[in-house]
């Protein structure tokens, strides 16, 4: 246990807090062997119904419904039943699989959490025989999200570009006299920029925060590419949270908490709640912050009038002068237990087409970063700054995708909590990372042994 941690984290609370509760725990102990593609077949002429689950509501969910309707227009014998499952989608899907009544299809960030527990159909054979799917049309880093144990279990789909960039408030940057042609290339320079941008009153209260270290950077995959050390090795099935690189990552994060004090930062963010613009960044009160490909659109729609933002690479924490870029994506997959696997594969094929991606984009604004679809976009019509996330694949010099970790959601939530505890001085980073490493290794062993 972590001697300096105020919140004691047992395995039960660890699983409960991360959303991997009873269903995942049960499946870790008893995994059903997943069939390979082609074991199930649906007669082409019969009327088929497919259940499809995803996390999004609102415009995101509307985009999925529109994509499903377009698919049915092309395949009148297949009726889609799209469903917003929300934030409990992983547990909900695993529980349905354990009960023998899973949906036919699901969209998640990556395949490994379900594939590792026997809940998916491998699709390599389908890909090989497809005349629609072209793996060369996907970003190579995006394809990392569909891997597990040497096989592919789905396709990148619906939303996927770059999920890591350093956003800057250009109004504040220019007012501080900083040179936008010489952006921070390491964390020392980032601290210098934060100091120039921050505004602290005589009582130590934050009026403008120079650098908000939270945000998408708290994803373990993001710190992985920034520090040049993968938190999970998909070939050796080993975690690296106890490495020097991740200790340094938490120390870097804490240094930005310490600039003005973790409590003062919390008070600053709380003070913006209830305001017409509840986000401090959108209100123009944060100089630098991390964000993904959704950030330019969100700022364009929600930021205070007159604000301008720029986007660039987060500094390289490995000291190699690289430009790190995290290629995040969602993935669509077929559930083991579907009675209509061939029809489900038809839908997966369709998600790879520009026609499907255009319909989803038109309704929800989501961009699936296949090479052909990016080429089809008029960059002049995109939100200002979004071009950074479309060109980062080629301009980035360390471009990594999502780690094929069957405990990805556990790792994300555990690391997110740990970073905050370290930032507030409640936990020693070495002890905290060792505890997280042990927790995840224990859960991984159950998956591998099963």
Say which residue the tokens 């105020």 belong to.
Answer: 6
pLDDT more than 90, % of the chain: 89
Name the 3-class secondary structure at 365.
coil
pLDDT more than 70, % of the chain: 90
Instruction: Report the pLDDT value the prediction gives residue 394, as an integer from 0 to 100.
Output: 96
Q: Which residue ranges does the chain devote to CATH 3.40.190.10?
A: 41-160+329-376, 165-326+408-449
Q: CA-to-CA distance for 381 and 62, rounded, in angstroms? A: 21
For residue 22, is pLDDT > 60?
no
pLDDT digits (tens, 9 = 90+) for 224-234: 999 999 999 99
Between 245 and 382, name the one with better pLDDT: 245
Q: CA-to-CA distance for 330 and 364, rounded, in angstroms? A: 15
Chain mean position to CA 32? 27
pLDDT digits (tens, 9 = 90+) for 308-336: 999 999 999 999 999 999 999 999 999 99
CA distances in angstroms from 184 to 165, 192, 208, 310, 382, listed in the order given: 12, 9, 19, 13, 26
For residue 23, is pLDDT > 70?
no
Say which residue the tokens 């505004």 belong to.
Answer: 199
DSSP 292: -
pLDDT digits (tens, 9 = 90+) for 372-411: 999 999 988 899 999 999 999 999 999 999 999 999 999 9
Q: What is the mean pLDDT of residues 252-273?
A: 96
The yes or no reply on domain 41-160+329-376 and CATH 3.40.190.10 is: yes
- Asked if residue 242 lies in contact with residue 2, where contact means CB atoms within 8 angstroms, the answer is no
Q: CA-to-CA distance for 46 and 192, rounded, in angstroms? A: 66
Residue 94 dihedral angles phi and psi, to the nearest 5°: -65, -35
DSSP 122: B
Instruction: Report the pLDDT value the prediction gives residue 20, as an integer from 0 to 100.
Output: 53
CA quadruple 37, 20, 93, 230: dihedral sign:
negative
- Asked if residue 285 lies in contact with residue 272, where contact means CB atoms within 8 angstroms, the answer is yes
The mean pLDDT value of the chain amounts to 92
Q: CA-to-CA distance for 113 and 89, rounded, in angstroms? A: 12
For residue 287, is pLDDT > 70?
yes
- Asked if residue 199 lies in contact with residue 316, where contact means CB atoms within 8 angstroms, the answer is no
Count CB neighbours of 87 within 10 A: 9
Instruction: Report the pLDDT value the prediction gives residue 45, as an integer from 0 to 100.
Output: 64
Instruction: Report the pLDDT value the prediction gives residue 450, as an integer from 0 to 100.
Output: 81
Superfamily in which the 165-326+408-449 domain is placed by CATH: Periplasmic binding protein-like II (3.40.190.10)
**Tokens at residue 17, please?**
């807090």
**Tokens at residue 66, please?**
């529109």
pLDDT digits (tens, 9 = 90+) for 69-110: 999 999 999 999 999 999 999 999 999 999 999 999 999 999
Q: Which residues contact 147 (CB under 8 A, 6 or more apart)?
A: 111, 112, 153, 234, 404
Longest dimension (CA), the chain: 75
As to burial, measured by CB atoms within 10 angstroms (0-12 exposed, 13-18 middle, 19+ buried), residue 394 is: exposed
Q: What is the mean pLDDT of residues 110-120?
A: 98
- Alpha helix segments (H runs only) across 52-110: 58-74, 89-98
Instruction: Report the pLDDT value the prediction gives residue 2, as an integer from 0 to 100.
Output: 40
Q: CA-to-CA distance for 111 and 178, rounded, in angstroms? A: 43
Reported confidence tier of residue 30, pLDDT bands at 50, 70, 90 = very low
For residue 31, is pLDDT > 70?
no
């Amino acid at each position: 246990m972590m001697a300096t941690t105020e919140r004691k984290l047992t395995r039960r609370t660890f699983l409960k807090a991360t959303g991997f509760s009873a269903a995942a725990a049960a499946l870790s102990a008893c995994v059903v062997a997943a069939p390979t593609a082609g074991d199930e077949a649906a007669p082409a002429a019969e009327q088929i119904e497919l259940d499809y689950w995803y996390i999004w509501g609102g415009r995101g969910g509307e985009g999925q419904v529109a994509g499903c309707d377009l698919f049915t227009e092309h395949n009148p014998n297949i009726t889609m039943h799209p469903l917003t499952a929300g934030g409990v989608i992983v547990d909900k899907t695993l529980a349905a699989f354990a009960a023998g009544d899973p949906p036919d299809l699901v969209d998640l960030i990556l395949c490994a959490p379900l594939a590792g527990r026997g809940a998916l159909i491998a699709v390599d054979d389908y890909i090989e025989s497809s005349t629609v799917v072209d793996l060369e049309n996907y970003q190579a880093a995006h394809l990392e999200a569909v891997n597990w144990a040497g096989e592919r279990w789905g396709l990148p789909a619906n939303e996927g570009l770059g999920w890591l960039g350093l956003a800057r408030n250009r109004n504040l940057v220019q007012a501080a006299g900083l040179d936008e042609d010489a952006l921070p290339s390491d964390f020392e320079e980032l601290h210098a920029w934060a100091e120039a941008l921050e505004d602290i009153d005589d009582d130590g209260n934050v009026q403008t925060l120079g650098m908000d270290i939270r945000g998408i950077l708290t994803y373990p995959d993001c710190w992985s590419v920034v520090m040049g050390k993968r938190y999970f090795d998909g070939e050796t099935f080993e975690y690296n949270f106890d490495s020097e690189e991740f200790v340094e990552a938490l120390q870097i994060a804490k240094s930005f908490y310490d600039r003005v004090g973790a409590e003062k930062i919390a008070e600053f963010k709380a003070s913006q709640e209830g305001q017409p613009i509840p986000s401090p960044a959108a209100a123009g009160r944060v100089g630098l912050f991390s964000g993904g490909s959704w950030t330019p659109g969100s700022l364009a729609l929600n930021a205070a009038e007159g604000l301008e933002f720029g986007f660039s690479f987060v500094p390289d924490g490995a000291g190699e002068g690289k430009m790190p870029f995290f290629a995040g994506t969602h993935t669509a997959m077929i559930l083991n237990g579907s009675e209509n696997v061939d029809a489900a594969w038809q839908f997966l094929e369709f998600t790879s087409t520009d026609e499907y991606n255009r319909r989803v984009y038109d309704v929800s604004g989501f961009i699936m970063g296949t090479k052909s679809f990016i080429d089809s976009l008029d960059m002049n019509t995109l939100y200002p700054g979004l071009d950074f996330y479309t060109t980062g694949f080629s301009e980035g010099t360390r471009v990594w995708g999502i780690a094929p970790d069957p405990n990805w959601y556990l790792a994300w939530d555990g690391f997110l909590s740990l970073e905050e505890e370290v930032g507030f001085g409640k936990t020693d980073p070495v002890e905290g990372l060792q505890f997280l490493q042990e927790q995840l290794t224990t859960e991984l062993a159950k998956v591998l042994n099963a």
